[in-house]
Structure 1
Amino acid sequence: MASSPFRFELLHSDTGCDARRGRLHTPHGTVELPTFMPVGTLGTVKGVDIARLRETGAQIVLGNTYHLALRPGANVVAELGGLHVFMGWQGPILTDSGGFQVFSLAERVKVTEKGVSFRSHIDGSALEITPERSIAIQEELGSDFAMAFDHVVALPNKREVIEDATWRSVRWAERCLEAAQREDQMLLGIVQGGLDPELRQSCAKALVSLDFRGYAIGGLSVGEPPEEMYSTLEATVPALPTERPRYLMGVGRPEDLVESMARGVDMFDCVMPTRNGRNALAFTDQGTVRLRNSQHERNRDPLEANCPCPACQHSRGYLRHLFQAKEMLGPILTSIHNITYYQRLMAEARQAIEADSFSEFRRAKLAAWGAKDSK
């Protein structure tokens, strides 16, 4: 890996917990860790243009293999210059493998050792994704980070179902490594295993033996209580190499981000900032604000006085009016605010880790949000 354009630096570990301050160098720029990735499923973060996305402080965005393969097609994206040119984002991009979407969106799914056959949720056409095909699509898209194709199952589930999917994911991960051709794309393995600590540790050990450049933790935040997610992280994260980045997939409540950082996670993604923004819910240091509530009708205050985003140049009363009037600017502004808030949270977390004060930072945030301290 000496010639690899990717390099992970572990800059500092907090003395009071397992939070880490790192840096990840990529062909499209450096990512300061911990970081939160806004989700741009179809090559766009919903309601947010690229210029405004940069202004939020976002360093890296996520695109989706399944969705982009269906529409407009990976070959179309490639012909238009690759995903960076296609969406106008020149920073790093991560594409997830499509595994979760196949099992959550597709119709008539059939799993074999070869891969997954299914029907598109868009037009019902018959399709197949194998580990090799997932990698080929991601290489055609040209993202900086690609994810191994994994077998995702619902939780809770039978032990034998979870175990079967976990070890199939490991076998598929090995095939993904064998299929990968691009040196300018970093492939991450995904640890599965449900809520079983021993299965998680065994899966992590197997993936570490394959020597991925980075590791993700999948299959969490799917309805289990937060305490179970945290205990699963406590069992899993120590089994991952300290010298490789760690990515917790699909986790996005602010309290979950803080709790997961305290347990050694470096990277996150979730649709929560924009999905909630479109539904008139804003994140702040004092907790969530539901802008449709009548109490905001005559409120002259911004969402947050210290927030530089365009939404906070307006009053809560104006933002509420936009939603009540069904003006598209309401969801746009609130989405931008939420992404900005998440980026500010991560920047503050990085500063706290550098100062060995993350535990105090964590307690203060959880108290202000009204969240329960789990440790």
Structure 2
Amino acid sequence: MARPFRFQLEATDGAARRGAIETPRGTIRTPAFMPVGTAATVKAMLPESVAATGADILLGNTYHLMLRPGAERIARMGGLHSFMNWDRPILTDSGGFQVMSLAELRKLTEEGVRFRSHVDGSRHMLSPESSMEIQRLLGSDIVMAFDECTPYPADAATARSSMELSMRWAARSRAAFGDRPGHALFGIQQGSVFRDQRAESAERLIEIGFDGYAVGGLAVGEGQERMFEVLDYAPAMLPADRPRYLMGVGKPDDIVGAVARGIDMMDCVLPTRSGRTGQAFTRRGVVNIKNARHADDPRPLDEACACPACRAYSRAYLHHVFRAGEIIASMLMTWHNLHYYQDLMAGMRAAISKGRFAEFEAAFHAGRAEGDIPPL
């Protein structure tokens, strides 16, 4: 008998929440940041290295995995966990966001979305029912309802039409998901930047009933100020006894601001993608290792960081291997960024437990305002 999916709220500090999501494959400490393993891999990282950074859960991508290598093949290989050698929880998105971004290659109807693969041009149909089936074949622990990610900007009428379609698809996703002990289905709130639509979406999702709820349709170009305006009210519209997931966020200051507003889970490609392009996130802001100022610098990226890149390698070395195009540059920079993000989450969890989140937030912003250490 699979251990049930359960969320336990352990502490609050203002709107910030600390908790734990219990799953058959382990506990997810919240607030949680999920590294993105788009194609069954976190780029430039071994699964055990990702675990060593402190990650409790990864995100996999339904759209990419259904196209290559295919959900049926992954199922024959024992499911996504076995296939990619990750024994902790996995959340899979529904594919809706990626299909939205195809624009010229897709046709949206009430049934779902017909689209051409960006890989080979082959034709596919993604619907609430097929998304649930693909995610079942993948074997993910947390499944996302199929939705349309409303583009930004959108006028009120366009946003409403999109939100209402997503709510109809949410009901179909719930019906198709069925009863799967040990697995969870999350609904996705839509409504763009319109408060009344967000409220209506939340009410309809709660009526359908989900194991967790996501705030969707943000981090799509609206900017941090507008995003925070929505987060000032949207999370509180969702049940307090279920996890709240902000999809596709984000930069470190986005994450801290989202947690301050009641968000429990986030994901983003930023720490891994930035690592591969030579950007490191540190307590004093972003370091661009490509810059010539680092060429003779024997100091670490961040002297307070315990990751392998900071413990054993200098800025000069990281600058050299990046400029030389060596694979180890992506490995070390990605490891550092993921370690930094998990340290950030651990710091927030501890601060919430102690009732000192405001102090943590102030120190976080003060550190970043200092800027990088002066050149030698």
TM-score, normalised to structure 1's length? Answer: 0.96
Indicate the RMSD between aligned Cα atoms, in angstroms: 1.4
**2:192 alignment partner, one of 161, 181, 194:** 194
Shift of 1:259: 0.5
Q: What SS is found at the alignment partner of 1:243?
A: coil
Match of residue 64 from structure 1: 61
Q: Which runs of 4+ in 1 moved over 2 A?
A: 105-108, 181-184
Whether the 8 Å CA contact 1:192–1:217 is kept in 2: the answer is yes
* CA distance, structure 2, for counterparts of residue 111 and residue 211 of structure 1: 25
Residue in 2 aligned with 1:292? Answer: 290
Partner of residue 374, structure 2: none
What is the rounded CA distance, in whole Å, between the counterparts of 1:139 and 1:3 in structure 2? 15
Deviation at residue 3 of structure 1 after TM alignment: 8.2
Corresponding residue number in structure 1 for 2:102: 105
Letter in 1 for 2:350: Q
Number of the residue aligned with 2:83: 86
Q: Secondary structure at the match of 1:5?
A: coil
1:43 aligns to 2:63 (yes or no): no
The answer to whether the 8 Å contact 1:61/1:93 transfers is yes
For residues 295 and 57 of structure 2, the distance between their equivalents in structure 1, rounded to whole angstroms, comes to 36
* 1:224 counterpart (222, 225, 228): 222
Paired amino acid for 1:343: Q
> Which digits, 9 at most, give the CA deviation of each residue in 1:122-142, with x for residues without a partner?
111111001000000000100
90-99 or 217-226, which moves further after superposition? 217-226
**How many Å apart are 1:159 and its aligned residue?**
2.1
Aligned equivalents of 1:367, 1:150: Cα separation in 2? 39
Q: Aligned-pair distance for 1:106?
A: 6.4
Letter in 2 for 1:332: M
Distance in 1, matches of 2:2 and 2:303, equals: 47
Question: How far does residue 291 in structure 1 lie from its aligned partner after superposition?
Answer: 0.3
User: Which of residues 272, 280, 283 in structure 1 aligns to 2:281?
Assistant: 283
Please name the residue that 2:349 is paired with.
350
Q: Is the 8 A contact 2:213 2:244 kept in 1?
A: yes
Shift of 1:79: 0.3
Alignment deviations for residues 292-327 of structure 1 (CA, whole Å, 9 cap, x no partner): 111111111101122221111100010000111111
SS at match of 2:149: coil
1:366 deviation in Å? 1.4
CA–CA distance in 2 between the matches of 1:228 and 1:4?
Answer: 39
Deviation of 1:108 (Å): 2.4
Q: TM-score, normalised by structure 2?
A: 0.96
Instruction: Give a deviation string over 1:175-229, Cα, whole Å, max 9, x none.
Output: 0000013223200000011111111111111111111110001111111121110
Cα distance in 1 for partners of 2:155, 2:284 equals 40
Q: 1:129 and 1:18 mapped to 2: Cα distance?
A: 36
Counterparts of 1:173-252 in structure 2, within 5 Å, are 173-181=170-178, 182-252=180-250
2:164 aligned with 1:132, yes or no?
Answer: no
The offset of 1:162, in angstroms, is 1.2
Amino acid at match of 1:59: D
SS of equivalent residue, structure 1 residue 95: strand
- Secondary structure (helix, strand or coil) at the match of 1:370 reads helix
Show structure 2 runs of 5+ residues with no match: 371-376
Find the counterpart in structure 2 of residue 155 from structure 1. Answer: 152
What amino acid is the match of 1:323? F
Per-residue CA shift, 1:221-254, capped at 9, x if unaligned?
1111211101101121111111000000000100
Task: Output one character per residue of 1:39-88: Cα deviation in whole Å (capped at 9) or x when no partner.
Answer: 00010001101121111111100000110000000000000010000000
Partner SS for 2:234: helix
Structure 1 residue runs of 5 or longer lacking an equivalent are none
